[in-house]
Structure formats: C-alpha cells, structure tokens
Structure 1
Amino acid sequence: MTARTAPFIEPGGSEVPVTRTIHWGRWISGTVALLLAAWLAWLFIDNPRLDWAKVGEYLFNGKILSGVWVTLEIAVLATAIGLALGVVLAVMRLSHNPVLRSLSWFYIWFFRGTPLLVQLIFWYNLAFLFPHLILKIPFTQVGVFWDTNQVMTGFTAAMLGLGLNLAAYFAETVRAGIQAVDEGQTDAAYALGMTPMKRMRYIVLPQALRIIIPPTGNEFISMLKTTSLVYVVAGNDLMTNASQIYKANNLIMELLIVASIWYMLMTAIATWLQTKLERRFGRDAVRLVRGGGLTGRLRGLAGSRTIDQGAGA
C-alpha cells in the first residue's frame, strides 16, 4: 500500500501534509469487473449471428413505434385506474366501518395473491362467463347491453387487468402515506369541526403525497415493463408487435434487442420525471409558505368558522 500527500492549509497559513492511502484492492477489483463487463458486452456486439443492421432497421419501424405508443397508453391508463382505486381502498381500509375494512382487505389479498398473468387471461376471456354486458335499471327491461367480445379487446383487458392489480399495491402505499401524517394535523382538523371527508381531502392526503409519490413513480416504471405480459392477450403493445414481426422473419434476437432498447428509453425518461417530482415535493415538504399550505388552510377554515358563528349569533 503506497501513499500520496496533499497539502492542507491551516487558518494561520501553514501547510500540514495529509496522507491519503491508495487502496490497491479496490483498483484491482474495479478493473477486473470493468474488463469482465466489457468482455461480456463484446460477446454480444461481435456475435456473427446478430445482425445489427436489422436492429437499426426495425428500431423505428412503424409497427414498433405503434407498439411503443400503445405501451405508454396502457401504462398511463392502468396507473391512473390503480391510483384512483388505490386511494379509495386505502380510505376504506382505514375506515371505522368493519364492512368497508373487510371488503378492502379481501380485495387487496385477492389481487396480490393471484398471478397477474392469470388475471389478464381471465379478463380477456370474460365472455365465457358473461357473453353480454348488461346495464339496466333494476327490476325493469330498460337499459343497454354490449357484446363482451367486442368490449373486452386485448387493449381493454390489459388496461383493466393491470389497473385492478396495481390498485391493490397502491392501496397499501397510500395507506402507509396516510398513517405517516402526524396525528396533530388530524387533531387540529377535528378541533375545527371538519368532517372526515374534508379532513382527508384537505389535510391528510396533500401531506401524504410526499410519501406516496416516490413509490408511485416506481410502480409506473415497473408498469412500463410489466406491459410486456400483454403479449398473451394480443394487446398490440410493443412486445406483441415485436413478436409478430420476428415470427414472420425469424429475427428473434434482433427484435428482442429493439424492444429492450425502447423499454430502457421509456424507463429512463420515467425515472427522470420521477426525480423531478421527488425534488419538487421534497422542497414543498420542508418549505413554509406564508398564507398557503396547511397553515393557510387551517387559518382560512378557522376564520370562516368564526364568521359563521358570529353570523349565527
């Protein structure tokens, strides 16, 4: 182990030598790992059985780009469904009503306990159980009905299956965020006479966002890749279209690389957006804005309540 020195200037102006050790073990292990990674990458790059020209040719193929767009649509819509339903399930799980708590618990247990692939196939083949979907006024013949096969397309089955499954995971995330809010905030809302719904909407959920957003971003990033399971229901997503192409020309590895490049690009963009959101809500979580935020809301609600009481008197 050798050492090198670097001068350190004291406040008085004199130099004090500082010895810094060179860890040869770290340099050797890092170099070996780098060479191993480069060797593995070269095995793929220089493989004569891989046609990189075809990878470039299909990278911006119209069918591939259409699949990318469908993948984004499914991921965004499924995440929106999952988040909206997850908030409802989380509120039900924290409710004092035992029926609502039990229903929420059962939903979360069921959708987390069954494979996502099974759920997608189930929704896609829903017509075996219900050939028609009927919406009518109870005890009357007034209503509308649809052919289930026409409604439950690959896209619809994918969006519904992924969204309902994701809601079970979002419910636990939102519940943890709600429970992390300081009890003093809810006590203040109680003191102001706020209803449970207003308390949840104006006090608890806005503060829980800074805890909910990071795992929500992770779930969306995971959803981008999970959409590849839509392949089994022919949802016209990126993986489905890529598989249709390589089944026709037998360029299996080339099309898989094309799909991987697009998945990595979408993941990189989503990760960047998630970082921006985390920084934004992280600053808002510790910044006190005069006349705004929770303090402003409580003051405004307290003022309006005082005015109402004075008017009533």
Structure 2
Amino acid sequence: MASTLKTSTRRTRTFLSGSAALVLPAILLLLVTYILPLLQVLRLSVSSADPSVLDGAGFTLRHYFEFFADPTSLRVIWRSLWISFVSALIALVIAYPYAISVAKSGPVMRRVLISLALLPMTTSGVVRAYGVIMVLGREGPLNKLLMALGLVSQPVQFLYGPAALIIGNIYFVMPFVILPLAAGIARLDGRLLEAASTLGATKVSINRTITLPLLVPSIAAGTIVAFTLNMTAFVTPGLLGGQGYLMLTTLLGQQMFNLANWITGSVIAVVLLVIVIVTMTAYQTWLDRKAGFYAPR
C-alpha cells in the first residue's frame, strides 16, 4: 500500500513538474470562465423555476418546445444562419486576391499589407460599427456618391437591414480570413505551379486543380472563424440591425438584459452553441470529402 502511494505521488510530481504543467493555468482559466458558466446556462435552460430566477431548479424541456414553436424564433435562426454564411463567403472572395498580394509581395510591402489588414482590429467593435453607420447612413458618403452618379434619386436605407449587417460582418472578420489564406499561399510549393504551367495548364485550371485544393485547410480555418464570429457577434447586429432586425445574439440580449428572462435567454444561448458546433462540423466534413488533397499541416 505504501509502495503504491509513493508511486502515485511520484507520478503526480512528474506530471506537475513536466511540460504538462504548462497547460494547467489555461485549463483552470477555461474551467472558471467558460465551462462553469456554460454548465450554469445549460442548467437554467431546462429549469422549471421562474424565468427571472438565476438559481434554477427542477427539470423540463418545455422552454425548448416553446422556443421552436414560435415562428419568430425560426425566422431569427434562419436569418442568423444565412447572413453569417453569406458574410463569410463574400469575405473569402474579397480576401483571396488580397492574400495572394500579401504572400507574393516583398518583405516591406508584405508588412504594409498585413498592417492594413490588421488596422480595423486596433479599434473596438463599437467604434467600427459606428464607422459603418456613418458610411451607410442616409447622409453618408455612400448615399452621396450614388446620388451624385445619378444611380438613385433619394437616399437608400442601408441601415437596420441585411445589407448593413453583411457589410459590417465582412469588415469585422476580414483580418481573420486574410491571415490564414496568406500563410497558406506562402507555404505553397511553387514548383508544382511551374510544372503545371509548363505542361500547358491555364491559370484558371491551375487555381482550380492545384491551388484551391492545397489551400483547403487555410480556407476552412478562415471561413469557420468568420462564420463563428458572425453568428456570435453582439455589437455589430445590435447597432447595425437594431431591434427591428433581430439576430440570435440580439434576441438573447433582449431576453436576458431587457426582460430579465434568464431561462429563455439560456435556451437561446444553448441553441446558438449547438447551431455553431453542428454547422462547423458539417462544413469541415464537406470540405474533407470535396478536397482532392490537402496542403501539408
């Protein structure tokens, strides 16, 4: 017995003094700031107590049935999904040529382009959202340009609708798409592209059959991060969509902060978490099946 205890103590000391001890602070931080609050949200979502009580008790799935039975909830879920997906897709299309420029530029120009890509991240989400409001407003430069060109006769209402949300989301997630793409393009073996060109392949064919399959991991990383950030953003839809064009996050904030309905808010939080996890898993599985081959990881 004593020998077993000594062996166990020795193993524990070895674990705590080894490289595994380096992850303990991160694990403890994750446990306190994420796991425990998440468990509390899960518990509240199935609580049969009063919706305004944070200390839930009992068990019921009635709140989930009521949430999905409400047509408004289904519209908000669909709106959040398609706006997040379209924003991530457009961000990918815009970021791809920019990432190519970053990867193919010299050291000085590469630093300049990366700094420009990261520039929006130097300000808070609120400041960025208000910047988009100033640009897209009825008296903003975009409407003035459209009217000066004669394309419209009166200011267009961009704000508080899908256009403003998509533009704001793209602006917010662009750096997270550019950087993985630029890193992936920089790692490409140029000899493969040269060999394909020597054998008579066109640039379009090279991009479709060589470059894009090799960039699947980078594309997946950038678009998954973009989609997740779009789905879970609160400031952007709150300021650009307003209360008249609710997303899941703004609906959650409305229930929790305005109505103090903690149980319904917890249900929305769990639904949002499940949607993000399921969508990410399905998207990654689809990419795995469609890609012919992958770049080295």
TM range (shorter): 0.5 to 0.7
Instruction: Classify 1:147/1:245 alpha carbon distance in 2 versus 1 (closer, same or farther; 3 Å).
Output: farther
Contact kept, 8 Å, 2:126 with 2:235, in 1: the verdict is: no
Correspondence for 1:92 among 76, 94, 101 = 101
Q: Relative contact order (C-alpha < 8 Å, sep 6+): which is higher?
A: 2
Instruction: Classify 1:239/1:220 alpha carbon distance in 2 versus 1 (closer, same or farther; 3 Å).
Output: closer
The answer on 1:252 being equivalent to 2:261 is: yes
**1:259-285 C-alpha deviation (Å, 9 max, x unpaired):** 202201211211321341354267744
Percent identity of the aligned residues? 17
1:55 aligns to what? 63
Cα distance in 2, alignment partners of residues 57 and 210 from structure 1: 38
Contact kept, 8 Å, 1:92 with 1:100, in 2: the verdict is: no
Correspondence for 2:239 among 228, 232, 236 = 232
Correspondence for 2:126 among 114, 117, 129 = 117
Contact kept, 8 Å, 1:228 with 1:239, in 2: the verdict is: no
Tell me how large the CA RMSD over aligned residues is.
4.3
Correspondence for 1:261 among 248, 251, 270 = 270
Instruction: Classify 1:43/1:201 alpha carbon distance in 2 versus 1 (closer, same or farther; 3 Å).
Output: closer
How many residues were matched structurally? 256
Unpaired runs of 5+ residues, structure 2, are 13-30
Contact kept, 8 Å, 1:82 with 1:167, in 2: the verdict is: yes
Correspondence for 1:130 among 141, 144, 151 = 141
Instruction: Classify 1:258/1:146 alpha carbon distance in 2 versus 1 (closer, same or farther; 3 Å).
Output: farther
Cα distance in 2, alignment partners of residues 279 and 133 from structure 1: 46
Higher Cα radius of gyration: 1
Q: Give runs of aligned pairs for residues 1-313 of structure 1, distance below 5 A.
A: 41=40, 44=44, 45=47, 49=53, 55-56=63-64, 58-60=66-68, 61-96=70-105, 104-105=113-114, 107-126=116-135, 127=137, 128-130=139-141, 132-135=143-146, 143-145=150-152, 147-148=154-155, 150-192=157-199, 199-200=206-207, 202-226=209-233, 229-233=236-240, 234=242, 235-244=245-254, 250-277=259-286, 279-280=288-289, 284-285=293-294
TM normalised by structure 1 equals: 0.63
Alpha-carbon offset, residue 195 of structure 1:
6.8
Aligned with 2:152: secondary structure?
strand
Cα distance in 2, alignment partners of residues 146 and 267 from structure 1: 41
Aligned with 2:213: secondary structure?
helix
Contact kept, 8 Å, 1:116 with 1:161, in 2: the verdict is: no
Cα distance in 2, alignment partners of residues 184 and 111 from structure 1: 35
Q: Higher strand fraction: Structure 1 or Structure 2?
A: 1
**1:31-77 C-alpha deviation (Å, 9 max, x unpaired):** xx9xx97xx75985486625778834652222222221211122011
TM normalised by structure 2 equals: 0.66
1:16 aligns to what? none
Aligned with 1:82: secondary structure?
helix
Aligned with 1:144: secondary structure?
coil
Cα distance in 1, alignment partners of residues 43 and 286 from structure 2: 39
Aligned with 1:90: secondary structure?
helix
Cα distance in 1, alignment partners of residues 2 and 275 from structure 2: 46
Cα distance in 1, alignment partners of residues 79 and 191 from structure 2: 45
**1:7-45 C-alpha deviation (Å, 9 max, x unpaired):** xxxxxxxxxxxxxx99998xxxxxxx9xx97xx759854
Contact kept, 8 Å, 2:84 with 2:230, in 1: the verdict is: yes
